[in-house]
């Protein structure tokens, strides 16, 4: 059963960077999720064992592909390698992206896990006028492979460090196009290749009136 991740309210966002540097945890926790992996020969366990301690970071669940579905694997996420990332929430999103980009460990591969998230993808702060909580990616979300987009959406949606309340993930690209809302549903988790090509348009933040 997946272990719950500690909740960090949005109002504490300025302290997320300090949290990333100060929090110490004990490695990957065993994750046992009942998964319909289909008929033989797709015999994979979709289960990982606890790993040695010593990683500095924050605990989160990343969504990997196993048996053609998304399965959460609990990890300790280290501080982002691509710096500087000034926005605290973008820093958390960057750390989660880097975790998804990494090749699964040999133990995870033996259990049937893979990741479709391409290398080099990065997260940035919202543009002026974007809704609160928007994450701007270095590529348009709709241009990513569908399975990779499903992994990203469900990983960010499940991060209680990044999101204090349930709801859609708001993603935009590097250009001026408005961001869109993407939702992690049971259908997306069971068929990650069928994620909709376009999410709903996110409501832009209101323009402040001159005082």
Cα–Cα distance between 46 and 36 in angstroms, integer? 10
- Contact yes or no for 82/122 (Cβ under 8 A): yes
User: Going residue by residue through the chain (211 aa), what tens digit of pLDDT does each one get?
Assistant: 444 334 333 333 433 444 444 333 333 232 333 334 443 334 455 866 554 455 577 889 999 999 899 999 998 888 665 555 578 888 999 999 999 999 998 999 999 999 999 999 999 999 999 998 899 999 999 999 999 999 999 999 998 878 766 778 999 999 999 999 998 989 999 999 886 555 666 555 555 555 5
Instruction: Give the span between the Cα atoms of 80 and 75, in whole angstroms.
Output: 14
pLDDT for 58 equals: 85
Closest CA to 5 of 23, 18, 15, 167: 23
Rounded to a whole number, what is the distance in angstroms from the first to the last CA of the chain?
52
Nearest Cα to Cα of residue 92 among 115, 64, 124: 124
Contact 137, 96 (CB under 8 A): no
H helix or E strand, kind and range, residue 69: strand 69-77
Tokens 């290398």 belong to 119
State pLDDT tens for residues 103-126: 998 999 999 999 999 999 999 999
Q: Model confidence over 191-207: pLDDT tens digits?
A: 998 865 556 665 555 55
Those residues whose C-beta lies under 8 Å from the C-beta of residue 25, and which sit 6 or more positions away, are 53, 55, 57, 58, 59, 76
Is the pTM here over 0.85, yes or no?
Answer: no
Radius of gyration of the chain (CA): 17
- Give 116's DSSP letter: -
Element (H, E) at 100: helix 88-101
| Cα 88–chain centre separation | 15
The pair of three-digit structure tokens given for residue 204, joined into one six-digit string? 């832009």
Q: By the 8 A CB rule, do 80 and 98 touch?
A: yes
pLDDT of residue 7: 38
């Amino acid at each position: 059963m997946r272990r719950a991740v500690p909740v960090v309210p949005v109002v504490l966002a300025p302290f997320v960077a300090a949290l990333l540097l100060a929090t110490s945890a004990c490695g990957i926790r065993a994750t046992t999720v009942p998964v319909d992996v289909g008929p033989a020969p797709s015999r994979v366990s979709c289960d990982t064992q606890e790993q040695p301690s010593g990683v500095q970071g924050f605990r989160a669940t990343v969504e990997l592909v196993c048996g053609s579905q998304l399965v959460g694997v609990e990890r300790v996420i280290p501080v982002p390698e691509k710096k500087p990332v000034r926005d605290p929430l973008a820093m958390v999103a960057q750390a989660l992206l880097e975790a998804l980009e990494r090749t699964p460990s040999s133990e995870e591969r033996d259990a049937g896990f893979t990741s479709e998230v391409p290398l080099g993808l990065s997260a940035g702060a919202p543009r002026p006028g974007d809704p609160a909580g928007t994450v701007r990616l270095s590529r348009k979300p709709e241009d990513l492979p569908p399975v990779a987009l499903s992994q990203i959406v469900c990983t960010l949606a499940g991060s209680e460090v990044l999101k204090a309340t349930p709801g859609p993930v708001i993603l935009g690209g590097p250009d001026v196009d408005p961001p869109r809302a993407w939702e992690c549903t049971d259908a997306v988790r069971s068929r990650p290749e069928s994620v909709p090509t376009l999410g709903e348009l996110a409501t832009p933040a209101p323009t402040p009136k001159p005082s």
